[in-house]
Amino acid sequence: MKREQIDKTHEADLYSAVLELQSLDEVESFFHDLCTPAELEGLVDRWRVAQMLVQKMPYRQIAAETNVSTATIVRVARFLNNGNDGYRTIMRRLGKL
């Protein structure tokens, strides 16, 4: 059963753990342990969609190239444009914006 809200302390613990990872191999191992294959696929898909959206690719083209639903693309676009600035922050740091 899903909870209505994530416990903020436990959420912060997860983020702190991610910040302790020191290499791409460590990050990969952690996410493969943490996520089911389907969850990881969803994260990878959303990140890929976000990158395509900042390149101004049309939704239909993104859907065709990624096999991601247009509903997911719209959701990513909404957070990319009106979210918490997480996508944009990391894209700036990676030189993708």
Q: pLDDT tens across 35-77, in order? A: 999 999 999 999 999 999 999 999 999 999 999 999 999 999 9
Residue 3 lies in a domain: no
For residue 97, name the pLDDT band (cuts at 50, 70, 90): confident
Residue 36 lies in a domain: yes
Per-residue DSSP letter, 17: H
Q: Is the pLDDT of residue 25 over 60?
A: yes
Diameter over CA atoms, the chain: 40
How many folded domains does the chain comprise? 1
d(CA 47, CA 45): 5
Residue 2 lies in a domain: no
CATH for 58: 1.10.1270.10
Whole-number percent of the chain with pLDDT over 70: 98
pTM for this predicted structure = 0.88
Residue 42 lies in a domain: yes
Residue 15 lies in a domain: yes
What is the C-alpha end-to-end distance of the chain, expressed in Å?
Answer: 38
Residue 86: which domain range? 8-93
pLDDT at res. 31:
98
